Amino acid sequence: MVVDERSKHGLHTALESALGAEHADTMMSMLSPVGWADVATRRDLAQLEDRIRREISELRAEMHREIAHSTRTMVFSMTGAMFTVGALAFAAASLV
């Protein structure tokens, strides 16, 4: 059953005549402003939390891999540059 504004108004009118305006307003304020199918449950939130935790874990693992790869590349580059500078210094010393 779909609850629309017309049926909500009818319920409010019936509650108002049975319980009075203040109680009718209190009861109506307790109703969901949207359909109950649109309200998130604790299970929905738990599933969302699990999915977010998995994605964060995957992101961390990917970042660790990238950092390790970048560090390895930088070490090899610096080692190559140091050997090049050493070779140039050796060559310059032998020319003197």
Residue 34's pLDDT band (cuts 50, 70, 90): low
How much is the pLDDT for 80? 92
Tell me the C-alpha to C-alpha distance, in Å, between residue 96 and each of 21, 51, 85, 93: 106, 68, 17, 5
Question: Same domain for 6 and 16?
Answer: yes
Question: Same domain for 67 and 80?
Answer: yes
| Structural domains in the chain (count) | 2
pLDDT digits (tens, 9 = 90+) for 42-81: 999 999 999 999 999 999 999 999 999 999 899 999 999 9
How much is the pLDDT for 31? 78
**What is the residue range of 94's domain?**
40-96
Question: Same domain for 23 and 67?
Answer: no
Is pLDDT of 1 > 60? no
Question: Same domain for 79 and 68?
Answer: yes
Question: Same domain for 94 and 55?
Answer: yes
Which residue has better confidence, 65 or 29?
65
Separation between Cα atoms, residue 36 and residue 21, nearest integer Å: 25
Question: Same domain for 45 and 68?
Answer: yes
Question: Same domain for 44 and 27?
Answer: no
Strand, helix or coil for residue 77? helix
Residue 85's pLDDT band (cuts 50, 70, 90): very high
How much is the pLDDT for 68? 92
